[in-house]
Amino acid sequence: MPKHITVDSLPEFDLARQLRTEEDIAEYITQVIEEGDAAELAHALGVAARARGMSEIAQAAGLTREALYKALRPGAYPRFDTISRVCHALGVRLVAQPVH
């Protein structure tokens, strides 16, 4: 007889565990940018930073860990400079492309 699985017994999905390479991170961030929600971009960068390690990314971006958490929390609207520094620390860059 098959075992019954309940929703409560399933592990919580953590996208950060799926972002293993710079290519994974770049694809995820690109998809979020294409949706056009600035607050969601901050959240996505936070997920990517967790995938790499918040302390490591904060240090590489020249921020304290607490400042990085604050800048990338859901609903935050970080400055472009912060976004740029975090992207650089993650090993990705933002690129503008023509819309066809």
Q: Is the pLDDT of residue 1 over 70?
A: no
Mean pLDDT taken over the chain? 90
Cβ 19 vs Cβ 53: under 8 Å: no
pLDDT-derived band at 99, boundaries 50, 70, 90: confident
Q: Which DSSP symbol is given to 75?
A: T
Cα 13 versus chain centre, distance: 15
pLDDT tens for residues 13-57? 888 999 999 999 999 999 999 998 888 999 999 999 999 999 999
Rounded Cα gap, residues 19 and 63, in angstroms = 22
- Rounded average pLDDT over 4-12: 82
| Count of CB atoms situated within 10 Å of the CB of 93 | 10
Type of residue found at 78: P
